[in-house]
Amino acid sequence: MGSDDDWSVKNQAFYDSYENINENSYGFAQFHDSWVFEDKIVVAKKFENDLGKFAFQLSPSIRYTDFKHGDDFDYEYFHRVDLTKGYTAASDRLLATECPLSDEPGYTAADCGYNNYVSGHYTDYAMAGLADIDFAFGLGITVGARYDYVKAKSTYDITKMLPADVADLGGLYSASGSKGAWSWSASANYKLPFGLIPYATIARQSTVIAGQGAELYAGDIAGKTFISASKLYEGGIKGSFLDDRLYAALSVYKQKRTDYNIQSITVNQSVETKGLEAEARWSVNDHLLITGGYTRTKVYNLTALENGTLFSFFGIEDLVNVTDPTLYLGGQPIGLVLIPDKNASRRAGIPTNLYSLTATYAFDNGIALSASAVKVDSVYSGQSQVVKLPAYTKVDVSASYETGPWLFRVVVKNATNERYFRANFTELFGSTIVLPETPRSWQGSIVYKF
């Protein structure tokens, strides 16, 4: 609701639930059964005077999450079926999600169990405030703050877990606790002559670190490590020129997760990201649009750097001192990758430099032509940095014709038939598997709008 003096009060409610079961021939069986409900009130006030425009918000909220999650990652032989032989009786395995219930005759967790089987709930009580100030002389300031107080409980069902994983819990099968955390942000920009706007932002974001099924674990609740924080520093300049036909922006940033305790190699990672981004959009005339972009990104695994090692599955290139291939082919060696310096802690699979260029030309008769190119640096496929994927340039082209409610379009992807690869699951399997990407292909579509 609102009133004439620019006060407004709004209530927002949100509910979401999901049930998921994931079963693959190569393992990674898991399930989720979780739901969340949130209610938030937003009280807002805005006004304008000779000094500028001012807007303020205050927002209390409550969010409840209920979770149930189980997964099995002990039998994750990350290899596909041999396509030269096809599926055989040996291709299948009994997954944790296919196991009989624990009360059925003959069941033992050692025969078929989960690494994790956990359920619980947590409630987040929060209060947030925001101020957006746009001074008439060109300075804009946005500041905000939020405090979250989270109460949580989590319990393992050890009757459905493998004995070794139960032993790793050290008797901590259930825990409840609470923790509070602050988030805040501050941003400023200034409108200079000639359409230039420099800006700077600093922010801290506190987040509940939950798993894929929204689950929290008893050990993290007991240790009060289930909330983590990150900091962001960003600065740049942007502007519009040529009667707003040309837009350009340049920014540099640094983001860092400040807590290490809660890291998971598959879900949550303590990382530091440094980068630069540049983009330009030029509407040359009513027919031609050109866009270009450049990014430079470096991501470091902070926990690996602090520990000096990172767990990984090993490929052939890792085992340089093993001369007899029968000792490892058909198996899956594992171990620790040494991380002696910051360069070794860089996350694999993320190219340092990426360039993109797109052009679109639309004729008056409904025909439009488009082309785009992306140039990507070479990149290591895994954390041990023994397999390096080549650099590549990918080109896509398309043509379309629109008349009335009809649209006809043809797209040719990878028009030059570039041979290139993508890293896959770099932290664990980067040295054992990479994914070949699609060669030249095309697709056509006919669209009728009504």
Give phi and psi for 390, each to the nearest 5: -70, 155
Which of 218, 248, 267 represents a domain boundary (last residue)? 267
The per-residue pLDDT for 325 is: 82
263 with 273, same domain: the answer is no
Non-local (6+) Cβ contacts of 230 within 8 A are 204, 205, 207, 255, 256, 257, 258
149 with 50, same domain: the answer is yes
Which of 242, 267, 292 represents a domain boundary (last residue)? 267
96 with 209, same domain: the answer is yes
* CATH classification of the domain holding 125: 2.40.170.20
- Per residue of the chain (450 residues), give pLDDT as tens: 544 568 899 999 999 999 999 887 767 789 999 999 999 999 999 999 999 999 999 999 999 999 999 988 876 665 667 777 787 777 777 788 887 655 555 555 555 688 999 999 999 999 999 999 999 999 999 999 999 999 999 999 998 888 889 999 999 999 999 999 999 999 999 999 888 999 999 999 998 988 888 999 999 999 998 998 899 999 999 999 998 899 999 999 999 875 544 445 555 668 899 999 999 999 999 999 999 999 999 999 888 888 899 888 898 889 888 888 888 787 778 889 999 999 999 999 999 999 999 999 999 999 999 999 999 999 999 999 999 999 999 999 999 999 999 999 999 999 999 999 998 888 888 888 888 999 999 999 999 998
CB hemisphere CA count around 329 (13 angstroms): 4
* Count of structural domains within the chain: 2
- At 165-174, the pLDDT tens digits run 999 999 999 9
233 with 260, same domain: the answer is yes
273 with 251, same domain: the answer is no
256 with 380, same domain: the answer is no
64 with 206, same domain: the answer is yes
User: How many angstroms separate the Cα of 253 from the Cα of each of 85, 267, 274, 296, 355?
Assistant: 50, 23, 6, 10, 18
406 with 261, same domain: the answer is no
234 with 360, same domain: the answer is no
Non-local (6+) Cβ contacts of 138 within 8 A are 190, 191, 192
277 with 263, same domain: the answer is no
246 with 303, same domain: the answer is no
**Rounded Cα distance, 419 and 437, in Å:** 7
- At 240-264, the pLDDT tens digits run 999 889 999 999 999 987 554 444 5
Listed residue (202, 187, 280, 185) closest to 241, CA to CA: 280
The per-residue pLDDT for 109 is: 55
**Rounded Cα distance, 84 and 437, in Å:** 20
State the SS3 of 422-449. Answer: EECCHHHHCCCCEEECCCCEEEEEEEEC
The per-residue pLDDT for 433 is: 85
285 with 230, same domain: the answer is no
Which of 267, 291, 323 represents a domain boundary (last residue)? 267
- Domain span at residue 211 reads 1-267
E strands in 88-211 = 116-135, 139-156, 174-190, 196-208
The per-residue pLDDT for 79 is: 63
